[in-house]
Chains A and B, each alone.
Chain A
């Protein structure tokens, strides 16, 4: 990205103007949720959170893929790691996510499981080629952002004739989850700052129900402070005008129609299914499963994995944090029992998790 463009969106004067506008035009509380973890970090790191008017209530949503990975899914990949013939291939951020009893992949690795941290799913193919007597299982965790690349990797694996590469499909889709949050009586959200990266793939259309069905606004937003402020100002204005809209304020990176090619490969391999979200529970239609034509690469089928609800970690209020019912510092374990060095829940593990961001950046 052009450095000057980034500078422009960080310009303190521009931001000051937007903050003043926000303050002036806001006559009632605005409860906004940023869905994506990268936004959470950006809001804290720039110091923006401390500058927002009191009437702006900031909630962090379920947009960190590591955080929403359900305990039972973590247990599934921990179980899989026990198989002697399996090499788990994963991005590093899943290594410390706690499953049942606080166990994680790092501990499994120390106990002898083969876990390989990779930087691109294509590295998993290399790993499979180099280890013909093992099965490499890639942990497919993430949203619409990463799913197309995983799908492309599977297409490539088939082309290469690799028989020992599989995916454990735990992908989730963002718009469906937002619908579930709006349906939940415990949440109160006036508007969403929509994720930049997910939207590059899906575009604007899948979010439109937020305005039409729920009368709330939502704006696809970039990651600089001025991007975020501009979206907040827009949402306040629409509310003052008595309307709700879904728009795209991040046109420099996101096309309104998203990326049709990426969606094509994504849906050639995956199809929607129900999924369990950490802390939230089952959301119908919010997951992606592997289509029948690709079952040979489906680790769920091959290893007969069943995903069932397991009791949440005692005391952890990740669900309420992810739904925006409480802020992380309202969780009784926050900073006391639960710290980045000894995380109880995943929101404290991931660098993009909201509890980790509160811990790291929030001035009391």
Chain B
């Protein structure tokens, strides 16, 4: 194959067939995908969770991951947050003409590895090559489906006063890794994205504790935005303790340098769990037993004092709102 992705590869002719059979099937292939039918034939029964997401991240390779693995993690995490076992996913690639074939291989390989690790089959896919400038390097759209295994499924409107708010780990790692790479900044200690598939841990959690009320991954907009969404849809107050929210020292250092707040930065391998107080300890135990939940901790409590609001109890013991972000968080360029 040539070293660059040409428009021909998206033509539907021989060149596209070669790209599909040599690269995509090589890395993502499975019985269903290999049949190359117009649609996949799947076994699903009962209630399913389905989620789609488009990945346009820049840079496409970043410390701790790349757009391929990120697309898998993002989608299966969203499915798993519904108390579901993600089983199948689709992927659509939109590639800019002239994109380096080596980079595409790296991305598809990484996607294949991530899907395998998560135990999810890629059962349908699509590749388009568009003229230079029509997209920025590469965009990937993925859709995932899975069987919901708890009833009722965890949902953003089920937080109740008295519930405990738990967090599976440190905040802001992914967002800062991306911004740091984009701005060409080198931090004292390397900041890695936390991009990871959380489905195995989440499935274990809901199997043992079907009482979980809310599961959410604080991706874009970070913890602050996600908490506000939950407080709004459940019409409760989420009270968080500033000192309990874990942030890596290198992340808080990088953030204060850039004038950013880690609580508004994206995470791609963390989740929030809200559940009745009496199950909190058990949930933390399950989370901490898994590599991806090692730093899990309790960060707050759901109350009925200020419905719809997120209140932060500060280090001093004072209270303030933790609001949604107005517009985008822009780094201060020093």
Q: Give the interface of A toward B (CB within 8 A).
A: 10, 12, 15-16, 44-51, 119, 225, 340-341, 359-364
Which of B320, B323, B326, B333 is the one whose CB lies under 8 Å from A47? B320
Counting CB contacts under 8 A, is B321 at the interface? yes
List, in ascending order, chain A residues with CB within 8 A of B309's CB.
Answer: 363-364
List, in ascending order, chain A residues with CB within 8 A of B23's CB.
Answer: none
Q: Is the CB of A47 within 8 A of B316?
A: yes
List, in ascending order, chain B residues with CB within 8 A of A45's CB.
Answer: 314, 320
Q: Is the CB of A46 within 8 A of B314?
A: yes
Q: Is the CB of A12 within 8 A of B306?
A: no
Q: Is the CB of B326 within 8 A of A363?
A: no
**Closest chain B CB from A341 CB (angstroms):** 6
With contacts A363-B306, A364-B306 known, is A47 near B321, CB below 8 A?
Answer: no
**Closest chain B CB from A58 CB (angstroms):** 12
Q: Is the CB of B321 within 8 A of A361?
A: yes
**Closest chain A CB from B300 CB (angstroms):** 14
Measured in the bound complex, the distance between the Cα atoms of B63 and A356 in whole Å is: 36
Most chain-A Cβ atoms within 10 A of its Cβ — which of B314, B316, B317, B323? B316
Counting CB contacts under 8 A, is B13 at the interface? no
Which of B318, B326, B333 is the one whose CB lies under 8 Å from A51? B318
List, in ascending order, chain B residues with CB within 8 A of A359's CB.
Answer: 323
In the complex, besides A49-B320, A363-B306, 16 extra interface pairs with C-beta distance below 8 angstroms are: A16-B316, A16-B317, A46-B314, A46-B315, A46-B316, A47-B317, A47-B318, A47-B319, A48-B318, A50-B320, A340-B326, A361-B323, A362-B321, A363-B309, A363-B319, A363-B321
Chain B contributes a number of interface residues (CB within 8 A of A) equal to 17
Which of A119, A340, A363 is the one whose CB lies under 8 Å from B320? A363
A-B contacts, 20 listed (Cβ < 8 Å): A10-B315, A12-B316, A16-B317, A44-B320, A46-B314, A47-B319, A48-B316, A48-B318, A49-B318, A50-B318, A50-B319, A51-B316, A51-B317, A51-B318, A341-B326, A359-B323, A360-B321, A360-B323, A361-B321, A361-B323
Chain B residue at minimal CB-CB distance from A92: B330
Counting CB contacts under 8 A, is B247 at the interface? no
Measured in the bound complex, the distance between the Cα atoms of B318 and A225 in whole Å is: 11
Q: Is the CB of B333 within 8 A of A119?
A: yes
**Closest chain B CB from A283 CB (angstroms):** 31
Q: Is the CB of A47 within 8 A of B312?
A: yes
List, in ascending order, chain B residues with CB within 8 A of A361's CB.
Answer: 320-321, 323
Measured in the bound complex, the distance between the Cα atoms of B311 and A44 in whole Å is: 12
Counting CB contacts under 8 A, is B313 at the interface? yes
List, in ascending order, chain A residues with CB within 8 A of B317's CB.
Answer: 12, 16, 47, 51
Measured in the bound complex, the distance between the Cα atoms of B248 and A97 in whole Å is: 36
Measured in the bound complex, the distance between the Cα atoms of B321 and A50 in whole Å is: 11
Measured in the bound complex, the distance between the Cα atoms of B315 and A15 in whole Å is: 10
With contacts A44-B320, A50-B320 known, is A12 near B315, CB below 8 A?
Answer: yes
Q: Is the CB of A225 within 8 A of B316?
A: yes
Measured in the bound complex, the distance between the Cα atoms of B313 and A16 in whole Å is: 15
Chain A residue at minimal CB-CB distance from B318: A47
Interface residues of B in 263-313 (CB under 8 A from A): 306, 309, 311-313
Main secondary structure of the interface of B (DSSP, over half): loop
Closest 5 A/B residue pairs (Cβ)? A47-B318, A47-B314, A361-B320, A50-B318, A51-B318
List, in ascending order, chain A residues with CB within 8 A of B333's CB.
Answer: 119
List, in ascending order, chain B residues with CB within 8 A of A363's CB.
Answer: 306, 309, 311, 319-321
Measured in the bound complex, the distance between the Cα atoms of B333 and A38 in whole Å is: 19
Measured in the bound complex, the distance between the Cα atoms of B326 and A44 in whole Å is: 17
**Closest chain A CB from B167 CB (angstroms):** 20
List, in ascending order, chain B residues with CB within 8 A of A360's CB.
Answer: 321, 323
With contacts A361-B320, A362-B320, A362-B321 known, is A47 near B306, CB below 8 A?
Answer: no
List, in ascending order, chain B residues with CB within 8 A of A341's CB.
Answer: 326
**Closest chain B CB from A238 CB (angstroms):** 25
Most chain-A Cβ atoms within 10 A of its Cβ — which of B311, B313, B318? B318
**Closest chain B CB from A248 CB (angstroms):** 24
List, in ascending order, chain B residues with CB within 8 A of A48's CB.
Answer: 316, 318
Measured in the bound complex, the distance between the Cα atoms of B316 and A361 in whole Å is: 15
**Closest chain B CB from A114 CB (angstroms):** 20
List, in ascending order, chain A residues with CB within 8 A of B312's CB.
Answer: 47
Measured in the bound complex, the distance between the Cα atoms of B323 and A26 in whole Å is: 33
Chain A residue at minimal CB-CB distance from B322: A361
List, in ascending order, chain A residues with CB within 8 A of B326's CB.
Answer: 340-341
List, in ascending order, chain A residues with CB within 8 A of B319's CB.
Answer: 47, 50, 363
Chain B residue at minimal CB-CB distance from A10: B315
**Closest chain A CB from B190 CB (angstroms):** 20
Measured in the bound complex, the distance between the Cα atoms of B321 and A129 in whole Å is: 46
Measured in the bound complex, the distance between the Cα atoms of B157 and A234 in whole Å is: 49
Measured in the bound complex, the distance between the Cα atoms of B317 and A12 in whole Å is: 8
Measured in the bound complex, the distance between the Cα atoms of B317 and A225 in whole Å is: 12
**Closest chain A CB from B276 CB (angstroms):** 25
List, in ascending order, chain B residues with CB within 8 A of A44's CB.
Answer: 320
Chain B residue at minimal CB-CB distance from A341: B326
Most chain-A Cβ atoms within 10 A of its Cβ — which of B309, B311, B326, B333? B326
Chain B residue at minimal CB-CB distance from A226: B316
List, in ascending order, chain A residues with CB within 8 A of B306's CB.
Answer: 363-364
List, in ascending order, chain B residues with CB within 8 A of A46's CB.
Answer: 314-316, 318
Measured in the bound complex, the distance between the Cα atoms of B318 and A209 in whole Å is: 35
Proximity bits, B94-118, A CB within 8 Å = 1, else 0:
0000000000000000000000000
Measured in the bound complex, the distance between the Cα atoms of B237 and A298 in whole Å is: 53
